[in-house]
Amino acid sequence: MSATLTESPHRVLGQPIKRKEDPRFLTGQGRYLDDIKLPNMAYMAIVRSPYAHARIVSINKEPALAVPGVLAVITGEDLEKLGLAWMPTLNGDQQMVLAVGKVLFQYQEVAAVIATSREAAYDGAAAVEVEYDPLPVVVDPFKALEPDAPILREDRKEKSNHIWRWESGDKAATDKAFAEAEVVIKEKIRFPRVHPSPLEPCGCIADYNKTQNHLTLYVTSQAPHAYRTVLAMVTKLPEHQIRVISPDVGGGFGNKVPVYPGYVVAIVGSMLTGRPVKWVETRTENLASTHFARDYHMTVEIAATREGQVKALRVHTVADHGAFDAQAVPSKWPAGLFNICTGSYTFEAAHVVVDAVYTNKAPGGVAHRCSFRVTEASYLIERAMDILAHELKMDPAELRRKNLIPADKFPWKSPTGWVYDSGNYHHTLDYALNLIGYKELRKEQAEKRARGELMGIGISFFTEVVGAGPSKHFDILGIKMFDSAEIRVHPTGKAIVRLGTRHQGQGHETTYAQIVAEELGLSPDDVLVEEGDTDTAPYGLGTYASRSTPTSGAAAAMCARRIREKARKIAAYLLECGEHDLEWADGRFQVKGAPHQSVTMQQIAFAAYTNPPPGMEPGLEATYYYDPPNLTFPYGCYIAVVDIDKGTGEVKVRRFLAVDDCGTIINPMIVQGQVHGGLTEGFAIAFMQDIVFDENGNNLVTNFTEYMLPTAVETPRWETAHTVTPSPHHPLGAKGVGESPNVGSPAAFVNAVVDALSHLGVRHIDMPITREKVWRILRSAGIDE
Amino acid sequence: MIPAAFEYVAPRSVAEAVALLRQHSYDAKVIAGGQSLIPMMRFRMAQPKVLVDIGRIPGLDYLREEDGYLRIGALVRHATMEHSPLIQERYPLLAATARVVADPLVRNLGTVAGSLVHADPAGDWAAAMMAARAQVVVAGPDGERVIGIDDFLVDTFTTALEPDELVVEVRVPIPGPRSGGDYQKIERKVGDFATAAVAVQVTLDEAGRCQQAGIGLCAVGPITLRAAAAEEALVGQPLDEATIRKAAALAAEAAQPTSDTRGSAEYKRDMVRVLTIRALRSAAARALKA
């Protein structure tokens, strides 16, 4: 545990201070991409394919060029001449920027129209004539693997829709455990194809200055530095001539990690027209063409003893990646950290296989832990544990208690190689069960069941894995996944902090200010946090995968400590004593044993610029690149209580308790907000969301009527609580929390619904759990209004 | 999401609006709340050349009882119905409907008459007005005519309106004593169209037998449907559980649902039955108290 968390009056860490960014956001003063207007700016609209798989016979630009205001029409052929028709994906594949020869998914980018107004751009896009010759469509990933399936990716050497196979764990040990097992359960479980759906869609303004060969790209990006490097690689512009600015971002959830074709085309459009080019997606474009998450078809098996001791886990997954393998994963792990799927339990052996497949769907694979596949893994194991409990006729809480990793076994090495940093799982389980009144709920359930009423209780005890990541393992396209902070303390004792991350509403401007204020003895009001401009911020890989606090948060703390070391020297000079005679207390340096002899950071900062010690370099600033020694492993126990309407099949979530352990909490109000948001996402995934395609590959959910986000009416009331088990290796003990609720909650919801119906023989229901799915179960069991 | 270009005119009287409609005929679309038309224009599913905005015509936003009818002016918004003490106290069917139309933002702008003119089979008001046996008052070049709701709704997105006609009022007969109603709707989330919904209006005689019944079905056919056989099965009967269940089964038979992302035809048909049971129970209870 960090030595800085003293019980001093100067205590900023852990305080629920109001978010510094909120006055701006809540009064409509945020400055988002579409708020930015540059002189002489043109607008871009994209022509998209109505077919999921078709040859492009011809494209006629002329009618579009005849529309008043249209400046240019760009096609894949045009990009080919520039060597820009294809671009690399973040998973080592390539994807079309604009379609060349054929289209591979509905809504794929086919052409772009640049015009003097947004209206003219759309009129122009409607006027482009594209002739298609439809090809057989592959929607089902299992059919994609059949020998006679049409080959989708003709650009690849391998003439197969199979992309790659990834294996983890020990097959022999796992097979042996299964051969000797007293009890084996097996289930097919799908995690649906879902979409992160940030309220602000994606967009950019590309502003290329020909005389200076300089590009400024304003873009909705969670990772501006990574964009700069990728754009330098793709466009061949020198990296120092590219400035990426990510203004206020209205939600990301991973959707704003990838570099989308529209950005590349807008850059080309700016080069062609000599104007800044703005492109902002419509809602349909965002839903139908930008990165989805998941679509994992998982077969899970657990080997256990009759007493309920788990022994081994076997998982085979078919992953539907769509037309291009574009998920954002660290280079070493094509299926991310999916092999965290042994969860919170003492499995002795595990074997995990993932087969990735091409289909005629939009590419993706980020959002809500999807690039790292942790939500899939957590859902899988938490569902499977309930199935095992059902098989053994054991209480699911008891089964978990029996198998949770004991506190004295940390650091725990999982059978797939992860080293869990810290946890006190049994304590958290008991705390959650007591808080919700588990025994009473089980009693109520038994009474209701006797009366023919349907009530269920679902538990999920998840372990997250965040803070990517240690450079020895984690890189994306070779770029190591450390992160950074730079602090400048001004002469009057105020400070600016710049970081390599980029928030999208998570509260970084407050959280980081609290960290730096705590470390330097300042008020958070005196610390300005700035992110998102590659010309000013130190290099970093951005904000996603719950990595900001574990990486840049650590960098901010370490950077502040670096400043404090210099400050100590200045303090000693000012107090005319030796450095070792000083102690840091109450947010100031004081002489040991003489606390009235002290200097504040304000006094030190002033001296750093006006009266530095002889021979010392003036100024008070530092930069720190933090390379985490390990990942962090937040965890939690979530419990859902549901009632089921016998007439309609409606599930009502009566209660939901989330007990999170994310280590040291920097701002409990922000953490609660993050948890509320993530639980709401988990609720939506459990009950509402799936990107559905018909047999022709038509996307059936291209607006918010069909792809549903819950409103305040549907959303349950959330109960939140915490246990605190600090990370031993993070400078503040913090672990990260952003995606924990998204990872942990889906299984709790589904487990609760299955629990309500388990006496009818139900073992599993695939998400989303619609009323109709429940209704079918009820009617087939003879239960009616 | 950018509509095609269009012209916009804002007449100040019904006569002026009718003249504009006569002039532009099928090229024109009337806009009141715009909650269905604007999204269709943004998707370019509708590309009217001229928008005739009736929102600035004075005197069309009245809501009052007069001459045996509840008279709902063409500019009465869903939210006005939702918050009206008159509706809340005397028209439980309409009150229940107003509460579940779309979402609060739509309810603040969308109009009752506009919902009927749009003739979406998933429109809540059409089913409610069918159960309430409402009439639609229409202004045209030759003056006004009154059309019964069943005749007004012709087909999916199609009404009996001529291109130069404008709905100016919706009329609901004032229910007699011992009347009650209810609207039961299943939707995937607030703001979604109904998966299925049922509107019920009943009047009991002094002996507690059903004297008059109206049942409208929403979102389970190409058009708003009247469950006529179910209505007949109720008349003359006490509204006990057996009668209610029998009528509900007949209502389910009257439905013509199709399968879509909201549910299978089979599920929707069964929901008509369940919702009819619930609506009739509630309507009967209200009638006994009224």
Which domains are delineated in chain B? 7-52 (3.30.43.10), 63-173 (3.30.465.10), 179-289 (3.30.390.50)
Q: What percent of chain A has pLDDT over 70?
A: 99
Q: How far apart are CA A690 and CA A195, in angstroms?
A: 8
Q: How far apart are CA B120 and CA B126, in angstroms?
A: 8
The CATH number given to A293-468+630-780 is 3.30.365.10
Active-site residue A341, yes or no? no
Element (H, E) at A185: strand A183-194
Cβ separation B190–A647 shorter than 8 A:
no
pLDDT digit string, tens, across residues A603-638: 999 999 999 999 999 999 999 999 999 999 999 999
Residue A128 and residue A47 in contact, taking contact as beta carbons nearer than 8 Å: yes
Q: How far apart are CA A129 and CA A121, in angstroms?
A: 15
Of the candidates B1, B103, B261, the beta carbon closest to that of A282 is on B1
Is ipTM over 0.90?
yes
Compute the mean pLDDT over every residue in chain A, rounded to the nearest whole number: 96
Architecture of the domain defined by A33-135+201-249+256-289: Alpha-Beta Complex (3.90)
Cβ separation B189–A770 shorter than 8 A:
no
DSSP state at residue A613: P
Compute the mean pLDDT over every residue in chain B, rounded to the nearest whole number: 97
Active-site residue A222, yes or no? yes
Q: Per-residue pLDDT for A4 more than 80?
A: no
From chain A residues 711-740, the ones with a CB under 8 A of any chain B CB are 711, 713-714
Residue B256 and residue B222 in contact, taking contact as beta carbons nearer than 8 Å: yes
Q: Does A773 touch chain B (CB under 8 A)?
A: no
pLDDT at A1: 36
The active-site residue out of A204, A370, A559, A662 is A370
Residue B276 and residue B270 in contact, taking contact as beta carbons nearer than 8 Å: no
pLDDT at B186: 97
Which residues on neighbouring strands pair with residue A111, listed in sequence order?
A47, A75
Q: Per-residue pLDDT for A393 more than 60?
A: yes
Mean pLDDT (whole number) for A445-450: 98
Residue A76 and residue A109 in contact, taking contact as beta carbons nearer than 8 Å: no
Q: How many CA atoms lie within 13 A of A587 on its CB side?
A: 20
Of the candidates B188, B195, B274, the beta carbon closest to that of A785 is on B274
Place A9 in a pLDDT band, splitting at 50, 70 and 90. low
Mutate to test the interface with B, among A281, A284, A648 (most CBs of B within 10 A): A648
Place A11 in a pLDDT band, splitting at 50, 70 and 90. confident
Neighboring chain A residues of B191 at a CB cutoff of 8 Å: 705, 711
Active-site residue A158, yes or no? no
pLDDT digit string, tens, across residues A212-226: 999 999 999 999 999
Closest-CA distance of chain B to residue A282, Å: 6
Its pTM surpasses 0.80: yes
Residue A348 and residue A177 in contact, taking contact as beta carbons nearer than 8 Å: yes
Q: Per-residue pLDDT for A92 more than 90?
A: no
Cβ separation B267–A775 shorter than 8 A:
yes
- Report the chain A residue with the minimal C-alpha distance to residue B274: A647
| Burial track A446-485 (b if 16+ CB lie within 10 A, e otherwise) | eeeeeeeebbbbbbbbbbbbbbbbbeeebbbbebbbbbbb
DSSP state at residue A120: H
Distances (CA, A) of A124 to A44, A205, A288: 10, 19, 21
Residue A514 and residue A12 in contact, taking contact as beta carbons nearer than 8 Å: yes
Q: Does A488 touch chain B (CB under 8 A)?
A: no
Residue B230 and residue B247 in contact, taking contact as beta carbons nearer than 8 Å: yes
pLDDT digit string, tens, across residues A257-281: 999 999 999 999 999 999 999 999 9
Q: Does B192 touch chain A (CB under 8 A)?
A: yes
Cβ separation A775–B277 shorter than 8 A:
no
Place B2 in a pLDDT band, splitting at 50, 70 and 90. confident
Of the candidates A123, A713, A772, the beta carbon closest to that of B267 is on A772
Rg (CA), chain A: 27
Mutate to test the interface with B, among A116, A691, A713, A779 (most CBs of B within 10 A): A713
Q: Per-residue pLDDT for A5 more than 70?
A: no
Active-site residue A202, yes or no? no
SS (H, E, C) A294-315: EEEEEEEEEEECCCCCEEEEEE
pLDDT at A365: 83
Q: Per-residue pLDDT for A408 more than 60?
A: yes
Of the candidates B190, B263, B271, the beta carbon closest to that of A711 is on B190
pLDDT digit string, tens, across residues A179-208: 999 999 999 999 999 999 999 999 999 999
Q: How far apart are CA A541 and CA A531, in angstroms?
A: 12
Q: Per-residue pLDDT for A3 more than 50?
A: no
Closest-CA distance of chain B to residue A122, Å: 7
pLDDT at A6: 42
Neighboring chain A residues of B5 at a CB cutoff of 8 Å: 119, 123
CB atoms within 10 A of CB B86: 14
Q: Does B45 touch chain A (CB under 8 A)?
A: no
Q: Which amino acid is at A443?
A: K
Query: Which of B235, B242, B244, B233 lies closest to B273, judged by CA?
Result: B244
Q: How far apart are CA A229 and CA A157, in angstroms?
A: 27
Q: Per-residue pLDDT for A328 more than 90?
A: no
Residue A663 and residue A725 in contact, taking contact as beta carbons nearer than 8 Å: yes
Q: Per-residue pLDDT for A138 more than 80?
A: yes
pLDDT digit string, tens, across residues A634-678: 999 999 999 999 999 999 999 999 999 999 999 999 999 999 999
Query: Is the bond preceding residue A192 a cis peptide, omega within 30 degrees?
Result: no
| Burial track A294-312 (b if 16+ CB lie within 10 A, e otherwise) | bbbbbebbbbbeeebbbbb
Q: Where are the CATH 3.30.365.10 domain residues in chain A? A: 22-30+483-626, 293-468+630-780
Q: Where are the CATH 3.90.1170.50 domain residues in chain A? A: 33-135+201-249+256-289
Mean pLDDT (whole number) for A369-378: 87
Closest-CA distance of chain B to residue A508, Å: 32
Q: What percent of chain A has pLDDT over 90?
A: 93
Neighboring chain B residues of A701 at a CB cutoff of 8 Å: 261
pLDDT digit string, tens, across residues A292-313: 999 999 999 999 999 999 999 9
Would you identify the CATH topology of the domain A22-30+483-626? Aldehyde Oxidoreductase; domain 4 (3.30.365)
Q: Does A284 touch chain B (CB under 8 A)?
A: yes
pLDDT at A8: 52
